[in-house]
Amino acid sequence: MPITTTPPPGVMERIRAKSLAPSPRNTFEWGLVPLAERERAFFSATVEDTRFLAIAKQAVEDIVGGNDYSASARAKLRAVLDAAGYQAAEEDEGGLKDLRSRQRLDLILKTNTEQLLGYAKWKRDNEDEYIDDWPCQELYRLESRAIPRNWQKRWTDAGGKLYGGGRMIARRDSPIWSAISRFGAPYPPFDFGSGMDVRDIDRDEAEALGIIKATEHLQPPPDNGPNASLAATAPDTPDVQQWIHSTFGDLAKVEDGHIVYQAQAFEDFYHQAVALSKTLRTMTPADQVTAMAPTFSLGQPTAQTVKMIQQAVGTDTTGWELVVDLQHVYHAARKHGQPDLMHPGSGEGSKKKGVALTLDDFRALPAIWHFPTKSKAGKQPSHFGKPNPSGGPSTFALSADILGDIWMGEFFLDVSAKKLGFGTAYKNK
């Protein structure tokens, strides 16, 4: 699929909205994850290193933006693996299971890039006027392969029909497109390194082939973008609601029998804090307290987070809940955000040691919370939270190294309530 200097509409937003998803899942296990959840995640099979994924994601963003930095990205990714002491099994060296291999690194970059561009074309082609004039598409081989897969068999096994000369053509709204895809998406790529693509079939040809009638008009299929509901269904029962809340906090809910992941929810909370800075000084003290009162849950800590917190403060926080309040998001943006964002003199200025936090950094908070790489006890005493009855530390910091920046989040314990709170965030070089 060709790379253009001007990315198609919506592509940059789509890659930026993806959350880093370090996980030991292999390709088969990722295939069991609902499509809409995979669409929101940036991952690679068996990769658990957050920095590796962050660099790969940035490289894909550069490529779809028209700047091909593949060689530079490969070097950076290998450096991350070297620093982590990565060594592939002897029998895997140089192959797809070897994260350092050219073959695996190119697969990560190319597959993610092609999926973004495939989605962009699919979305454009399914607009009302276009889908009516070009209601069908044909699967064809764009690139040759030494050992090509048998796509005609895959097509017919999935219920597709062949036309003159074995052509694989179907309506745009046909389920065949998702059925032939290894990834479950209705647009290319349909498999790793397949070499297959789609081309448009106009209405005249589609009618002549008998695929569509002159009186038929297709409706655009539903989008599976980052704000779509998860493909998984779930009963709206108290036990399911409790499990979803404990796992995702306020980032997900059950709605009309589906698990809905609210990708922009935490971002909206950040924008609320920024907007508040414009009016806060005009409020009475009582109104300020009310305005700062909203809270947002990020759910319970993962096993990895529990381990990190225990190493830092000696407290087992299994089953506790992290609650973020607007007051501390406001504090983090005012103290460590972009210069002058909240008011003149706010943010990380030139005399401060930290790196100014951007909106993307606040978007990363859920990932840092669920997948920290380091932890330490916080400053004692702290103005965050309440004293620890055991006399131990009452605050801790979780961090992750992303693209060379050390992202720190400070949290506090409320031992009596078995809750965790967000204090502030900052980045260091």
Domain boundaries of the chain, sorted by first residue: 1-124, 126-225, 264-428
Q: Decide if pLDDT at 322 tops 80.
A: yes
Q: Residue 298 CB: number of other CB atoms within 10 A?
A: 20
Three-state SS for 122-152 is HHHHCCHHHHHHCCEEEEEECCCCCCCCCHH
pLDDT of residue 299: 83
Half-sphere exposure of 248 (CA within 13 A, CB side): 17
Task: State the pLDDT at residue 281.
Answer: 86
Mean pLDDT of 215-236: 61
> How much is the pLDDT for 228?
45
pLDDT at 32: 62
Q: Is the pLDDT of residue 173 over 70?
A: yes
Per-residue confidence (pLDDT) for residue 212, from 0 to 100: 93
Give percent of the chain with pLDDT exceeding 70.
79
Any bridge partners for residue 254, and if so which? Answer: 259
Average pLDDT over residues 335-364: 76
Rounded to an integer, what distance in angstroms lies between the CA atom of residue 336 and that of residue 361? 11
pLDDT of residue 406: 57
More confident residue, 335 or 237: 335
Checking DSSP bridges between strand 41-42 and strand 19-20, what pairing results, if any? parallel
Task: State the residue for tokens 């840092």.
Answer: 368
For 277, the 3-state DSSP assignment is: coil
> What is the H or E stretch that residue 408 is in?
strand 405-414
Predicted structure pTM score? 0.54
Longest distance between any two alpha carbons in the chain, whole Å: 81
Q: Summarize pLDDT for 74-119 with one digit per residue, the tens.
A: 888 888 888 888 888 888 888 888 999 998 998 888 888 888 888 8
Render pLDDT for 360-407 as a digit per residue (tens, 0 to 9): 677 777 767 777 778 888 765 555 556 666 666 788 888 865 544 556
Q: Are residues 336 and 354 in contact, defined by beta-carbon separation less than 8 angstroms?
A: yes
233 has a pLDDT exceeding 60: no
| pLDDT in the model for residue 231 | 39
Residue count of the chain, please give it: 429
Confidence at residue 401, expressed as pLDDT on a 0 to 100 scale: 58
- Burial of 280 from C-beta contacts in 10 A (0-12 / 13-18 / 19+): middle
Q: How does residue 351 score in pLDDT terms, banded at 50, 70 and 90?
A: low
CA dihedral 31, 34, 40, 46 (to 10 degrees): -30
Q: What's the confidence (pLDDT) of residue 161? A: 94
Could you give the CA distance from residue 244 to residue 242 in angstroms, rounded to a whole number?
Answer: 6
CA distance 30 to 38: 8
pLDDT average, residue stretch 355-361: 76
What is residue 3's predicted lDDT score, i.e. its pLDDT?
44
Residue 139 banded pLDDT, cuts 50, 70, 90 = very high
Q: What is the pLDDT of residue 197?
A: 94
pLDDT for 219: 81
Burial class (CB in 10 A: 0-12, 13-18, 19+), 183: buried
Per-residue pLDDT at 423 = 84
What does the pLDDT read at residue 201? 95
Lowest pLDDT segment from 30-44, 227-241, 271-285: 227-241
- Chain Cα centroid distance, residue 71: 24
Q: Is residue 3 a contact partner of residue 112, using CB atoms and an 8 Å limit?
A: no
- Rounded Cα distance between 309 and 19, Å, is 22
Per the prediction, the chain carries an average pLDDT of 80
Please give the radius of gyration of the chain, using alpha carbons only, rounded to the nearest integer: 25
Q: What is the pLDDT of residue 265?
A: 65
Residue 269 has a pLDDT of 82
Task: Write the DSSP symbol of residue 44.
Answer: -
Spatial separation of the C-alpha atoms in residues 362 and 263, rounded to whole Å: 13
Question: E strands, 266-338, where?
Answer: 295-299, 321-325
What is the helix (H) or strand (E) element at residue 395, kind and residue range? strand 395-402
**Which pLDDT value is given to residue 170?**
95
Contact by Cβ (8 Å): 21, 41: yes
The rounded distance, in Å, linking the Cα atoms of 92 and 97 is 6
Which pLDDT belongs to residue 136?
94
The larger pLDDT score, comparing residue 336 to residue 188, is at 188
Quick one: pLDDT at residue 152? 94
| Non-local CB neighbours of 28 within 8 Å, separated by 6+ positions | none
Residue 2 has pLDDT above 50, yes or no: no
At CB < 8 A and 24+ separation, what contacts does 24-33 make? Answer: 24/48, 31/182, 31/183, 31/184
Mean pLDDT of 28-46: 77
Neighbours of 91 (CB within 10 A): 8
